[in-house]
A and B are shown apart, each in its own frame.
Chain A
């Protein structure tokens, strides 16, 4: 197994331990490698997401365009799975953009191949369900924080969860993600 295959397997194995056959067939479906240059897009609004991606290295942001603003809703870096989720699940055009913040290398699995594995292997479907649960719990936690926390508390919570984010992601995008102005963020955390 190559390094990215081992790392990708470990994401699914951490939820449900996959058997040798399951793992072999699973990895065989991640056939496409994709390179996205800095500032280029993995997907743009209006395109339909036909793949799930694994980030082997790089940095990306997911944003939602709103009036003149680009609202950051998430970041992906090394060793993350990423897709424009509503588009991927519903097979309809994406409302979101996914942009590379540095040159990013990804591996991709086709939507139909991925769903095909579910029919064959219960464990893969189960591991995926648990990964979705984890992502959903994160989103719910974030929603409550956005509704009830002060900017300082939102910042502190982010630091607990992702202490290295300032080394990876430009401040203006972190400010957007925390729903505060860059000025407010600078007041809380002087650069």
Chain B
């Protein structure tokens, strides 16, 4: 769980220091009309956080194993499949559900502030899970609610998904390096 926390901190650092100071025009830049801007990557994550933070907290509050933490959270077959699918190392493009797709929306920097709030919530959730058995509480998967992931898998899933899109956002910025100052001043 400590490593999950450190992943979040590093995501927060990137967003705070590398994205937030940039102008909105740069954050809204997209390579092609159908591809995402930096703010759209973040808005997409916000839509997931809006669902998962709520479900994670609910599952945590209803946990019957308070005071009985597990030392080694176990990943289920299904959980590790989902995690693998979203992992930033998996370069296969995944289809985005329509309701999670913010493409072509006009966004402003409030999206970034919201994102940082969600991360703070998530850090608190992770801290609070340390007293329960993560293998015995479950969260329904957003895009297939009949399927459930255990809490440990769900937290990892949410974070690798964030890493995936933060790294996508970094790539978008690298494609749009502003014109350098000319060497010749006239």
Which residues of A pack against B, CB within 8 Å?
11, 14, 62, 74-76, 79-83, 85, 131-132, 134-135, 137-139, 141, 153, 156-157, 159-162
Contacts and interface: CB of A to CB of B under 8 A. Distances in A.
Given A82-B184, A141-B179, 8 more contacts: A11-B183, A74-B186, A75-B185, A80-B183, A80-B184, A135-B182, A153-B25, A160-B22
B182 A138 contact: yes
Given A137-B179, A138-B179, A161-B179, A156 B25 contact: yes
Contact of A135 (B22, B26, B178, B185): B185
Contacts of B182: 131, 134-135, 137-138
Given A156-B23, A156-B25, A162 B185 contact: no
Interface of B: 22-23, 25-26, 178-179, 181-186
Closest 4 pairs between A and B when the two form their complex, measured CB to CB? A85-B186, A76-B185, A134-B182, A135-B182
A153 B186 CA distance: 23
A97 B186 CA distance: 12
A132 B184 contact: yes
B185 A74 contact: yes
Contacts of B25: 153, 156
B186 A139 contact: yes
A59 to B, nearest CB: 11
A137 B184 CA distance: 11
Contact of A81 (B23, B178, B185): B185
14 contacts: A80-B185, A82-B185, A85-B186, A131-B183, A132-B184, A134-B182, A134-B183, A134-B184, A135-B185, A139-B186, A156-B23, A159-B23, A160-B23, A161-B181
A131 B26 CA distance: 26
B39 to A, nearest CB: 15
Contacts of B178: 160-161
Contacts of A76: 185
A160 B26 CA distance: 9
Contacts of A14: 183
Nearest to A77: B185
Nearest to B178: A160
A75 B186 CA distance: 9
B181 A62 contact: no
Contacts of B23: 156-157, 159-160
Contacts of B179: 137-138, 141, 161
Nearest to A52: B184
B183 A62 contact: no
Nearest to A165: B181
B183 A79 contact: yes
Contacts of A131: 182-184
Contacts of A80: 183-185
